[in-house]
């Protein structure tokens, strides 16, 4: 058992370190290209911090642990929302992260709800239709939906970038860095995540067998928490710089990309992916949709005074994520 924990902790540590460098290089690319931190940086971060889920998902499909794949992807969305709620509670200022000042990001949250709802529908109906060999039609639908969501998010991020055009930040300043060197650093950090993530999948699958908790629960908690660590690093760094829009956009953007990872994993699965997945993942997807909706309501809800746990706010989000994990364990 100790060997499995060591095998799990070492690649998890690599992902944490690589995620930190990924954040730094993505921020520098945003400054060097002149596209702005919100527009360029957040797209790079959302894709980059979703790399562990993609790598783990592909490897898990090859070793026949597809439930670990879905548990990781959907569980990572829950962990991302938990990160957002915790950072909101631990950040002390007159304003609130989940407030009307960040209402523009409700569109990103809505896109995450759309993508997760599609996954929930596919988990329930399991059409099993294949296109171009073994790839299920569900994967093509997810990719098309991602295209529409990216267009909406791109237009929304352009508006956010224009509103932040006067802001300066040390990390986003070009300084003495060059664009080619920064891109190389970003790619090396991404490669480190790709290399470490498959080892994380193998050790997590071993822990699932040894503990008897099952691939669904371990994938939703243990692996999802580890692969969400890059989001912890990037979001915390954004909050420290006062870039709350960047932090919120990172969370919602990562949740959108997490859902399309299932389409990528379908390439490595023998037969349509959704027909091989456990229906228990539908519960995780439903919780992710519900909690994201509460986060969106919190972005749009304006009130001079809020009551703890009775208003759509960070405290309620944290409580709902914890309840979701308990119900997933009881009903797996």
The angle formed by the CA atoms of residues 48, 255 and 80, to the nearest 5 degrees, is 90
Tell me the CA distances in angstroms from 277 to 25, 71, 216, 266, one per residue in order: 36, 10, 10, 11
**What span, in angstroms and rounded, lies between the C-alpha atoms of 304 and 124?**
41
Whether the per-residue pLDDT at 140 is higher than 70: the answer is yes
SS3 of 136, please?
strand
Q: What local confidence, expressed as pLDDT, does residue 292 receive?
A: 94
Q: Which pLDDT band, with edges at 50, 70 and 90, does 170 fall under?
A: very low
pLDDT in tens, 41-59: 567 777 877 877 787 778 7
Mean pLDDT of the residues in the chain:
77
Greater model confidence, 77 or 38: 77
Greater model confidence, 252 or 41: 252
Q: What is the mean pLDDT of residues 17-46?
A: 73
Give the pair of three-digit tokens for residue 76.
Answer: 């990572």
Percent of the chain whose predicted confidence (pLDDT) is above 70: 72
Q: Which pLDDT band, with edges at 50, 70 and 90, does 112 fall under?
A: very high
**Neighbouring-strand partners of residue 274:** none
Percent of the chain whose predicted confidence (pLDDT) is above 90: 14
Q: Which pLDDT band, with edges at 50, 70 and 90, does 157 fall under?
A: low
Greater model confidence, 268 or 175: 268
Contact of 224 with 75, CB cutoff 8 Å: yes
Q: What local confidence, expressed as pLDDT, does residue 286 receive?
A: 95
Whether the per-residue pLDDT at 91 is higher than 90: the answer is no
Q: Tokens 């990781």 label which residue?
A: 72
**Neighbouring-strand partners of residue 276:** none
Greater model confidence, 254 or 243: 254
Q: What is the mean pLDDT of residues 21-28?
A: 80
Give the pair of three-digit tokens for residue 113.
Answer: 């709800």
Q: What is the mean pLDDT of residues 66-74?
A: 82
Residues, the chain, total? 332
**What span, in angstroms and rounded, lies between the C-alpha atoms of 51 and 124?**
27
pLDDT in tens, 270-327: 777 888 888 888 999 999 999 999 988 888 876 655 565 556 778 889 999 999 988 8
Q: Which pLDDT band, with edges at 50, 70 and 90, does 102 fall under?
A: low
Query: In 10 A of CB 142, how many CB atoms?
Result: 22
Greater model confidence, 109 or 194: 109
Instruction: Say which CATH topology domain 2-331 has.
Output: A middle domain of Talin 1 (1.20.1420)
Domain boundaries, the chain: 2-331
What is the greatest pairwise CA distance in the chain?
56
Q: Which of 8-12, 143-147, 281-285 has the lowest mean pLDDT?
A: 8-12
Q: What is the mean pLDDT of residues 139-160?
A: 80
pLDDT in tens, 184-214: 998 998 888 778 877 776 676 666 667 666 5
């Amino acid at each position: 058992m100790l060997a499995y924990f060591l095998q799990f902790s070492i690649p998890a540590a690599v992902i944490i370190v690589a995620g930190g460098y990924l954040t730094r290089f993505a921020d520098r690319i945003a400054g060097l290209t002149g596209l702005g931190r919100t527009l360029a940086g957040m797209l790079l971060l959302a894709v980059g911090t979703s790399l562990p889920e993609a790598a783990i998902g592909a490897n898990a499909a090859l070793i026949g642990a597809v439930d670990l794949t879905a548990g990781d992807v959907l569980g990572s969305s829950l962990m991302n929302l938990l990160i957002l709620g915790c950072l909101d509670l631990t950040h002390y200022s007159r304003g609130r992260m989940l407030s009307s000042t960040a209402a523009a990001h409700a569109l990103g949250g809505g896109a995450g709800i759309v993508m997760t709802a599609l996954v929930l529908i596919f988990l329930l109906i399991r059409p099993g239709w294949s296109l171009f060999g073994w790839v299920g039609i569900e994967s093509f639908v997810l990719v098309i939906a991602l295209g529409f969501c990216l267009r909406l998010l791109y237009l929304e991020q352009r508006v956010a970038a224009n509103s932040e055009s006067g802001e300066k930040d040390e990390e986003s300043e070009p300084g003495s860095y060059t664009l080619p060197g920064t891109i190389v650093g970003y790619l090396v950090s991404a490669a480190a995540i790709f290399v470490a993530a498959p080892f994380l999948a193998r050790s997590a699958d071993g822990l699932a067998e040894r503990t008897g908790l099952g691939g669904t629960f371990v994938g939703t908690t243990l692996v999802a928490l580890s692969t969400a660590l890059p989001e912890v690093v990037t979001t915390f760094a954004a909050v420290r710089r006062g870039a709350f829009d960047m932090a919120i956009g990172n969370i919602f953007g990562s949740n959108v990309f997490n859902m399309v990872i299932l389409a990528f994993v379908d390439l490595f699965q023998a037969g349509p992916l959704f027909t091989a997945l456990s229906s228990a993942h539908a519960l995780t997807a439903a919780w992710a949709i519900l909690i994201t909706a509460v986060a969106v309501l919190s972005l749009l809800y304006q009130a001079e005074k809020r009551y703890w746990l009775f208003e759509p706010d960070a405290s309620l989000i944290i409580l709902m994520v914890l309840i979701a994990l308990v119900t997933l364990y009881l009903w797996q």
